[in-house]
Structure 1
Amino acid sequence: MHVAPRGGYSIKNSKEFIRRYESYLKPTLKIAQLLLSAGNLVIPQLENVPIANNNTVPLETNTPEYRQDMEQRLKFVDILVNQIDGKQASRRGTDLREILTYLELVDNEESLGNLDPITTDDGHVRWICSEHCDGISFNDNMSSNINDFNVMGGKFDRKTKEAVVIGVNVTERNVKMICGALTKGFNIVKLVFQDCSFYEGYLETLLDTIINRSSIRCLNMTAVTVTKFFGGVKYTCKNMVVEFKNQSLKVRFNDNYHNGNIPMLNQLLLRNKIHRTLNISACDFLGHESDLQRCFESNRTVTELIVEYSNNIYILNAIFNSKTNALHQLKLPQSLSIPSILSPFCELLKKNTTFVEVDLMDYTGFKEE
């Protein structure tokens, strides 16, 4: 799996494009059909595809069963891709030389996503990722990224792909370097900032890249100070762990409220463009439920909300009274364990106009009542 920073390309002369590249498109569609069929989505046969179709297909597939099924399908796809790649070797590559002429808004560096064209010894042209394109070149780029990262005061472990930055005042130049490397294939799985400081605008830029256009699966911030443009501390993120997985943002602040919890969560929601599920713990916002409600209202992308330990009426009010049209699904694991809040919860449920699906996960309290 490699980072693909492009969202796609408009195709000129679609009919001729499909006719000319049918032998390449059919295997691609077979793979897409295999993956998307898990979500009960259907991709039409190539000959039935409309020439102009800009509709996007919503992927509301955030169930554990779907994820487990998808993992099995991905393993099978790896096998299928290898088989297809072997068959492609026998085809002539002349047509692929001209693929750019059919695409609008091609990158300045003339790459497709972060794919590069190569010509094999027998004259075939292939578009492949830089890692597979040239092992030496890829290693040089990786070494360059790691060197730049070390120069700014960070450390990168090649084996675990964990990057750590400790005690650094992160500058605009540092942020541009990190974002540029991430969007060009620098594969960081876990990124840690400890005892660092950011100007708020630089942090926003970094979060946008991390959330939407990187391979990072875990972001950890400890004692990170966020400053105003003209100096002065705006807030401090004492301890935050964000996990990015299967279109889900799991955010934890160590079960303790600090003045940086709300602004950091708000920044994550404002920058997020692709993750559909937000998973938080009510313990991180006790005493500040009204601020959390306003944070929910800044959301435009998340459709499913998971809130652990929802055991007081104030957190439930924040959830059900938020004025947002985006949230549709609610899950309350390890919640509603205090009998005194069950009746108020039922009243909120009666007046609910936001959520179309509410999963209590654990309803032992209702049995006692």
Structure 2
Amino acid sequence: MERTNPKTKIQSVRFQDILVQIQTVDFNGIECLCLEDVQRRCPSVTALCFDNIQLSFLRDTNGDQLIPLRIEAITDQIIDAVEPVEQSNVVMHRFLNRIDANMQEMNKKTDIILANTQETLIRIKHVMTQMYELHEYTTPRYFFILPAKHHNWTSINTVQNMFLLHYKLYFLCECSDEPDKLHIAPHDGYSIKKPSEFIASYGSYLRTTVNIARTILSIGGVVIPQSETVSPLVASALPPFTKESSNYTDVNSKLDVVEKMLNQTNDDHAHVDSSMIQKAVLPKVPLQGAQLRELEAFLEHVDDQHSLGNLYRITTNDGHVRWVCLEHYNAIGYHSKMSEYVRQLESIGGKFSYETKEVILTGNLTAKNITMFCDTLTKGFTILTLVLENCSIDSKDLDKLFDVIINRSSIQRIVIITVEVRKWMKMSKYICNYMMIHLKNQSLKVQFSNQCQTEDARLLARLLRQNKICRTFNFFGYDIPINSQDLLRCLKETGELTTLVIHHFMNIEFLNEILTSNCSPSRIKLSDCFNLSSTLFGLCQAVGQNENLVDLDIMDNTCIDDKAATVELLTVLRKHKSIKYVRLHVFNIKPSNENETCLITSLLQDSFISHLRISESIISPELIEALIHAAEQRHSLTYLEFYNSQLNCDTVSRLQLLYANESLTHLFISEQQYFSTGIIEIREQLNNEISHYQKAKLEKQITQAYIYSSVCLDNMDLVDQYMETIVKQTIIIKQCSFISLQFNKFTSIGISILAGALTDNNTLETLYLGNNYISDGGVYFLANILSVNNHTLKTLVLQKNRITDRGAKYLARMLETNQTLVWLYLGENEISDEGVRVLAQTIENQNHTLELLVLSSNKLVSDVSIDYLRQMIEHNQSLKKLWLDDCSLSETGKQKLTKIPESKKDFYIRV
């Protein structure tokens, strides 16, 4: 028998168009390729060829073919495997028959395929269009600019002078594809900061929009309110220059200036300070999405609510994105398919209100339900509010829903009430009890019913991870604890959010974590934050460690009343490398005091203070000179306000001249406290942030809580948005004598609404407001009303409300004239010896009705207050009880106080 030894050598064999590799076999020292090995890959093969010559199979010495059939291998060449000619033709014939049969089958389906192809392509085109435009058009696309004031235009003949003008930007409503049918957005326009940089980025684009503006501003030779495309309601909200046809010439001359500036920039750019001007006229490319997304950075922050011209983003039937006014939002959004969408919604148990444009979803939301609902949203189902109540939903379906809501729908408000999120195999789960989310253009604002729990933070983090459009995250500091690791991790990792807005900021550790992350925001706005100087010192430390911050806004509703903290902040800002714009509110400036000296230095030597609000100060000539220098010479200070500050007539005239020559874009001087004027706009906004559904639910709760002229709404996690409804139901309609709103989340804004309802009130006797976030601002509103306009309230509870000495001074002024209040609770606040002094001296000399004063757990009250309190107790005839337990009194101080009642009948003191 022949001995065989398998080798690892390979023979390449080609059959028709197929090349295979087959292992050879060694037979008695001859490397061979067996036919049967080839046939295992190509069964029809009967012969092997090389160079078109058929190879003979090996034979023995007798001339017989060796078994198995084999040839000597040629491993460095390719051998061809062939089949009989007749068999090859038969196989080919069968193959062609199969092809023919398949073609006939395909022909039967061709008509169906062709019928569906066009519709499929249209759908794909719509989806692609929508996805592109939603990403690119996160801001209205159409806008133009005008000089803000009338000038002698002939005297403005250089680019340098043109860039010193105050310009305002106006958006256009995209209600039509025809330029002559557009109209100006119902908004008074936005001041442009850094005009030279703005022109560098948008100069080419503005050349086109100036021509569009000329067209729409002169339809038929008249201005826009007389255009048939604009209703009287919209016309009343348009900028003032559009409302009189006599302004037509002036507007055209302003457009001439803009056009002249754009045209001459190319010739004169060498004379302009900013080298970026060269880019303004040289590129002739369309405006890109990234430029649109940065547009807000050039606008003054008079648009904190992200109104963007009071325009709203909608998605049309064909997948396009438009920005339109509310009137056209309704007209375009409510198309013929709305009834179909509503029927689909109702088929899954949903409810829709045509009046409020609100959808309510309850029960088990399946993947099929979510897919159907998301599909209607992306096709143009126009709703404003989505309520998810007592729902259960898979986490993947929730991600899909959030993605569509944020990035591809018209929804502006989401209300989440007891939503169960199912996870893997529907076994593990978590429940979000309550969350309210506001989506307005590029801003996402969130509020919780109570402090953000772990489950709530998970849901919010899931929402943020789906965001691709919103650039601003707006929340309340009392909602976010430091242990919200899911949320903290999400905020540190996401790159979409460039702006952080925090109201009632408390948790410096949380902010510090964000500011020191790689994806820290470039803009931060903090409101109602600085009752305690320790909070501001903490902010200084966090800002000092950050390298990305460009814009810091701590101007609105803040109380930087600590001189040392103000100095520390300005010192940190002067050393900061990236901050360009700071909005600042400073209190209690006096000639030559430390905070005035530091502020003057910053105004003269730095350029980061762009907005400055000064309250309760004495304005020196040195400070005025510094303000003028910052506005006229450095061109950094553009926004200036004074509240309850001392300015002489000459100073006011000089400041008004700054505004007249446009060195300042905004100047406001008021003799009132800031709280009384700054709160008005915010209150108007609040009513729009609560849905019809929430109002109805709260009214029902109030009705259930109403017992014998009393209403208790404690521990309901109510926020400022609810106060209008509460006031209406409890004070106006039910005329309650007892109202308790303790352990909620009311701030000075909500209290301003409540205080307004107390004017000339004749029924309310007891008001419990303990454990809220009222602060000094809220006390200001209450004290003003109780000073002159209320004659029934006897008990006022302000326990644990972050009230400082400033609030104590407001209450002291109220007690000078109030002749009704009997019990006043001020425990667990931040009142110090100075606040006690003011209260005690007022009660001692001017109040004759107060019987109980509670100052318990004010840790800043020390033995310094002993003499003030002793004088008050000895001389006041009405006070019967004083609570001072858990303050920072020494044992000696306590003994001094306890001896006083011995000489005064019926007086009780608790220390």
User: In structure 2, what is the equivalent of residue 156 of structure 1?
Assistant: 352
Amino acid at match of 2:389: Q
1:346 and 2:540 equivalent?
Answer: yes
Give, in angstroms, the shift of residue 315 of structure 1. Answer: 2.3
Q: For residues 123-202 of structure 1, what are the structure 2 equivalents within 5 Å?
A: 138-139=335-336, 141-166=337-362, 168-202=363-397
Looking at structure 2, the residues matched to 195 and 68 of structure 1 have their Cα atoms a distance apart, in angstroms, of 30
Looking at structure 1, the residues matched to 508 and 181 of structure 2 have their Cα atoms a distance apart, in angstroms, of 50
Aligned partners of 1:255 and 1:281 also within 8 Å: no
Choose from 301, 307, 327 the match for 2:496.
301
Amino acid at match of 2:539: F
Give, in angstroms, the shift of residue 289 of structure 1. Answer: 4.9
Structure 2 vs 1, CA of residues 55 and 247 (structure 1 numbering), >3 Å: closer, same or farther?
closer
Choose from 302, 324, 335 the match for 1:65.
302
Give, in angstroms, the shift of residue 203 of structure 1. Answer: 0.4
Q: For residues 199-218 of structure 1, what are the structure 2 equivalents within 5 Å?
A: 199-218=394-413
Amino acid at match of 2:531: S
More divergent stretch after superposition (64-73 vs 214-223): 64-73
User: In structure 2, what is the equivalent of residue 15 of structure 1?
Assistant: none
User: In structure 2, what is the equivalent of residue 355 of structure 1?
Assistant: 549
User: In structure 2, what is the equivalent of residue 266 of structure 1?
Assistant: 461
Contiguous gaps of at least 5 residues in structure 2: 1-126, 135-176, 193-197, 212-280, 323-327, 566-911
Partner secondary structure for residue 195 of structure 1: strand
Looking at structure 1, the residues matched to 321 and 499 of structure 2 have their Cα atoms a distance apart, in angstroms, of 31
Name the TM-score, length of structure 2 as normaliser: 0.30
Structure 2 vs 1, CA of residues 246 and 30 (structure 1 numbering), >3 Å: closer, same or farther?
same
Looking at structure 2, the residues matched to 69 and 207 of structure 1 have their Cα atoms a distance apart, in angstroms, of 21
Give, in angstroms, the shift of residue 287 of structure 1. Answer: 4.1
Partner secondary structure for residue 424 of structure 2: coil
Give, in angstroms, the shift of residue 54 of structure 1. Answer: 5.3
Partner secondary structure for residue 262 of structure 1: helix
Aligned partners of 1:249 and 1:279 also within 8 Å: yes
More divergent stretch after superposition (196-205 vs 228-237): 228-237
More divergent stretch after superposition (226-235 vs 240-249): 226-235
1:229 and 2:424 equivalent?
Answer: yes
Structure 2 vs 1, CA of residues 288 and 151 (structure 1 numbering), >3 Å: closer, same or farther?
same
Structure 2 vs 1, CA of residues 293 and 111 (structure 1 numbering), >3 Å: closer, same or farther?
closer
Give, in angstroms, the shift of residue 334 of structure 1. Answer: 1.5
Give, in angstroms, the shift of residue 28 of structure 1. Answer: 8.7
Cα shift readout 1:245-283 (whole Å, capped 9, x = no counterpart):
131000111241222222122122211111111001222
User: In structure 1, what is the equivalent of residue 779 of structure 2?
Assistant: none
Amino acid at match of 1:201: K
Cα shift readout 1:171-226 (whole Å, capped 9, x = no counterpart):
11111111111111111110001110111000000000000111111001111011
Give, in angstroms, the shift of residue 337 of structure 1. Answer: 2.4
Looking at structure 1, the residues matched to 340 and 310 of structure 2 have their Cα atoms a distance apart, in angstroms, of 35
Aligned partners of 1:67 and 1:246 also within 8 Å: no
Partner secondary structure for residue 343 of structure 1: helix
Aligned partners of 1:222 and 1:237 also within 8 Å: yes
Give, in angstroms, the shift of residue 298 of structure 1. Answer: 2.7
Aligned partners of 1:342 and 1:366 also within 8 Å: no
Give, in angstroms, the shift of residue 293 of structure 1. Answer: 2.7
Partner secondary structure for residue 196 of structure 1: strand
1:275 and 2:437 equivalent?
Answer: no
Amino acid at match of 1:5: Q
Aligned partners of 1:235 and 1:259 also within 8 Å: no
Give, in angstroms, the shift of residue 153 of structure 1. Answer: 1.3
Amino acid at match of 1:162: E
Structure 2 vs 1, CA of residues 56 and 64 (structure 1 numbering), >3 Å: closer, same or farther?
closer
Give, in angstroms, the shift of residue 355 of structure 1. Answer: 1.4
Looking at structure 1, the residues matched to 435 and 449 of structure 2 have their Cα atoms a distance apart, in angstroms, of 7
Partner secondary structure for residue 45 of structure 1: helix
1:332 and 2:567 equivalent?
Answer: no
Structure 2 vs 1, CA of residues 246 and 113 (structure 1 numbering), >3 Å: closer, same or farther?
closer
Amino acid at match of 2:352: F
Looking at structure 2, the residues matched to 74 and 245 of structure 1 have their Cα atoms a distance apart, in angstroms, of 10
Cα shift readout 1:81-116 (whole Å, capped 9, x = no counterpart):
xxxxxxxxxxxxxxxxxxxxxxxxxxxxx946389x
User: In structure 1, what is the equivalent of residue 132 of structure 2?
Assistant: 7
Looking at structure 1, the residues matched to 476 and 372 of structure 2 have their Cα atoms a distance apart, in angstroms, of 33
Give, in angstroms, the shift of residue 36 of structure 1. Answer: 9.8
Give, in angstroms, the shift of residue 29 of structure 1. Answer: 9.8
User: In structure 1, what is the equivalent of residue 320 of structure 2?
Assistant: 113
Structure 2 vs 1, CA of residues 351 and 231 (structure 1 numbering), >3 Å: closer, same or farther?
same
Contiguous gaps of at least 5 residues in structure 1: 10-23, 76-109, 116-127
Aligned partners of 1:270 and 1:298 also within 8 Å: no
Partner secondary structure for residue 337 of structure 1: coil
User: In structure 2, what is the equivalent of residue 106 of structure 1?
Assistant: none
Aligned partners of 1:38 and 1:70 also within 8 Å: no
Looking at structure 1, the residues matched to 289 and 511 of structure 2 have their Cα atoms a distance apart, in angstroms, of 36
Looking at structure 1, the residues matched to 311 and 469 of structure 2 have their Cα atoms a distance apart, in angstroms, of 20
Partner secondary structure for residue 235 of structure 1: strand
Give, in angstroms, the shift of residue 51 of structure 1. Answer: 6.2
Structure 2 vs 1, CA of residues 358 and 68 (structure 1 numbering), >3 Å: closer, same or farther?
closer
Give, in angstroms, the shift of residue 294 of structure 1. Answer: 1.1
Cα shift readout 1:51-73 (whole Å, capped 9, x = no counterpart):
67756413342765247997768
User: In structure 2, what is the equivalent of residue 12 of structure 1?
Assistant: none
Structure 2 vs 1, CA of residues 322 and 261 (structure 1 numbering), >3 Å: closer, same or farther?
farther
Structure 2 vs 1, CA of residues 129 and 5 (structure 1 numbering), >3 Å: closer, same or farther?
farther
Partner secondary structure for residue 562 of structure 2: helix
Aligned partners of 2:407 and 2:468 also within 8 Å: yes
Aligned partners of 2:390 and 2:419 also within 8 Å: yes
More divergent stretch after superposition (43-52 vs 261-270): 43-52
User: In structure 2, what is the equivalent of residue 310 of structure 1?
Assistant: 505
Looking at structure 1, the residues matched to 307 and 287 of structure 2 have their Cα atoms a distance apart, in angstroms, of 26
Determine which structure has greater relative contact order: mean sequence separation of CA pairs < 8 Å that are 6+ residues apart, divided by chain length.
Answer: 1
User: In structure 2, what is the equivalent of residue 17 of structure 1?
Assistant: none
Looking at structure 2, the residues matched to 149 and 245 of structure 1 have their Cα atoms a distance apart, in angstroms, of 24
Amino acid at match of 2:502: V
User: In structure 2, what is the equivalent of residue 83 of structure 1?
Assistant: none
Looking at structure 2, the residues matched to 263 and 332 of structure 1 have their Cα atoms a distance apart, in angstroms, of 24
Structure 2 vs 1, CA of residues 279 and 70 (structure 1 numbering), >3 Å: closer, same or farther?
closer
Aligned partners of 2:390 and 2:418 also within 8 Å: yes
Percent identity for Structure 1 against Structure 2: 29
Aligned Cα root-mean-square deviation (Å): 3.9
Looking at structure 2, the residues matched to 347 and 150 of structure 1 have their Cα atoms a distance apart, in angstroms, of 54
Structure 2 vs 1, CA of residues 55 and 225 (structure 1 numbering), >3 Å: closer, same or farther?
closer
User: In structure 2, what is the equivalent of residue 104 of structure 1?
Assistant: none
Structure 2 vs 1, CA of residues 67 and 323 (structure 1 numbering), >3 Å: closer, same or farther?
closer
Structure 2 vs 1, CA of residues 255 and 281 (structure 1 numbering), >3 Å: closer, same or farther?
farther
Looking at structure 1, the residues matched to 353 and 508 of structure 2 have their Cα atoms a distance apart, in angstroms, of 45
Partner secondary structure for residue 354 of structure 1: coil
Looking at structure 2, the residues matched to 351 and 170 of structure 1 have their Cα atoms a distance apart, in angstroms, of 46
Aligned partners of 2:319 and 2:379 also within 8 Å: no
1:323 and 2:323 equivalent?
Answer: no
Amino acid at match of 1:336: F
